[in-house]
Amino acid sequence: MKWLLLALVCACRFAFAASERVPEFGYSADIALEGRGAIYALELPVEVYRSMARRDLGDLRVLNGANEVVPHALMHSPASEKKPAAPLALTFFPLYGPAGRPVEGLALRVERKADGTLSAVVAPGDRRAAGRRLLGYVIDASAATAALRELRFDWPAGAEGTSVSMRVEASDDLKSWRAIASGPLIVLRQGELLLERRAIEFAPTRAKYFRVAWRPADEEFKLTSVAAAPVDATADTPRSWLRVTGAASAKPGEFVFELPGSLPVDRLRFELPNENTVVSVSLALQERPDGPERALRSAVIYRMDHRGEKLSSPDLEIASTAAPRWLMRIDRRGGGLGSGLPVMHAGWLPHRLVFVARGEPPFRLAFGNPDAPPTALPVRSLVPGYAADKPLPVLAAKLGAVQSRALTKPAAADVVRIYFEQMDRKKMWLWGTLVLAVLLIVGMALRLTRQMPRPGEPPESRPPYRAP
């Protein structure tokens, strides 16, 4: 009995596992691959968000030419991105002084240009007099608009190479100096091998001037150029925008904006219908017209033309929010908006779809089935060696036009007929095992029923049960 039940459970499990099929989807779009590779990525356009059946984008599938599901992952775009800054060439001036004297003891005379940059740095006395040596340099960084993180030096390497220990200090007035970094500068050659280090890195620093000196101090270290590396600029990642005109609701001063329910909005920009308008508004979210509301935030928005200058309220930053109905209520004490309807621009960071091009093209994106379970994988398991701070090693792909198709619900008889038409020998064996197990259980139940005494019949009249 026990082995029979175990066989029944296993047969059921295998039979149902073997019956899994790719579900039908209401929408699809062709994917065009650029280049030849294994992993591709594309940004989801607003047309995909409009037609998604699940807010978590769980009904997305990537299919190959054989209608097989291929692995995919969904990535959130970063809210900001770094833009590498170009190197900045700096002007530098030599510091001369008595041999053996530290550079800190030198008095400096400074001449500045009209724009405030350094024009000259001259030690008192004749720098060409006997006993005076090159002790260091003052570097003019007053033209830099961003903090600096590195100084890179060039010099003519001697026949035996160069190896000095450089100290870097910073100042805003050429009087008070603070040490910020030190390290070796090296150019050494051994045959075809080259050991080279020409830069000193330090924490991001804003300063008008830098002073450098080296050890051993009795060696003159003549520079030919100095360049600085500013910190990388951080800028907001470009967002996609959707323009929606509000519709007046039955309540005075209330407007409704309808958006795709899966759109992860994190920026709002409002366009008022009339100039010289300032209103206080409150924003709320709603799933359906008769559903409960969820307060979002309050703000003051405006549109003005002041002395020929167009002024408008800045974008509203909100946490990433997805909702189909956005409500805006106007404080009408100041006269409201006047005539016309407001316009809302919703901004969001599109998801990035990453997939493995397994199988033969054409590939397509399918979506629009609320019953389809999520199948997205973590990007770390999809892309070998993935790191958030490194570029994603993928090729580009483009999404074609979204096409719709009606989802059909076949009759029960058609479902059974189609299933058995597509069944292979393995599935037939599994189903046969399942049916046989059920018949054996039914037979055992009937045998036990016959062995049980009928009402009013003494138990001794029935023979004891014997196992088959």
pLDDT in tens, 173-228: 888 899 999 999 888 877 777 788 899 999 999 999 999 988 876 677 888 999 99
Please check the confidence at residue 42 and state whether its pLDDT lies above 60.
yes
- Average pLDDT of 314-329? 93
Residue 10: the pLDDT is 46
pLDDT grade, residue 13 (50/70/90)?
very low
**Strands, sheet with 309-312, edge to edge from the N-terminal-most edge strand:** 247-248, 254-258, 325-330, 277-286, 293-306, 309-312
pLDDT grade, residue 327 (50/70/90)?
very high
Residue spans per domain, the chain: 1-23+408-453+461-468, 25-77+350-403, 88-231, 240-348
- Average pLDDT of 30-36? 89
pLDDT grade, residue 111 (50/70/90)?
low
3-state DSSP of 164-182: EEEEEEEECCCCCCEEEEE
- Average pLDDT of 7-24? 48
Q: Which CATH class is domain 240-348?
A: mainly beta
Please check the confidence at residue 8 and state whether its pLDDT lies above 50.
no
Residue 240: the pLDDT is 92
397-415 tens-digit pLDDT: 999 998 887 666 655 555 5
Higher pLDDT, 325 or 159: 325
177-190 tens-digit pLDDT: 999 999 998 888 77
Q: Is-same-fold flag (88-231; 240-348)? A: yes
Integer Cα distance of 287 and 55 in angstroms: 12
- Specify which of 114-123, 399-408, 416-425 reaches the highest per-range mean pLDDT: 399-408
Please report, rounded to a whole number, the percentage of residues in the chain having pLDDT higher than 70: 78
**Structure pTM?**
0.62
Please check the confidence at residue 168 and state whether its pLDDT lies above 70.
yes
Task: Say if strands 309-312 and 293-306 run parallel, antiparallel, or are unpaired.
Answer: antiparallel
Among candidate residues 276, 279, 282, the one with its CA nearest the CA of residue 254: 282
Which range, of 72-81, 144-153, 365-374, averages the lowest pLDDT?
72-81
Q: How many CB atoms lie within 10 A of CB 401?
A: 7
Question: Topology of domain 88-231, per CATH?
Answer: Jelly Rolls (2.60.120)
pLDDT grade, residue 30 (50/70/90)?
very high
Phi/psi at 5 (5° precision): -65, -40
Residue 14: the pLDDT is 42
The chain-wide mean pLDDT, for the chain, equals 80
Integer Cα distance of 102 and 136 in angstroms: 9
| Contacts for 2-8: CB closer than 8 Å, 24+ residues apart | 4/437, 4/440, 4/441, 4/444, 7/433, 7/437, 8/434, 8/437, 8/438, 8/441
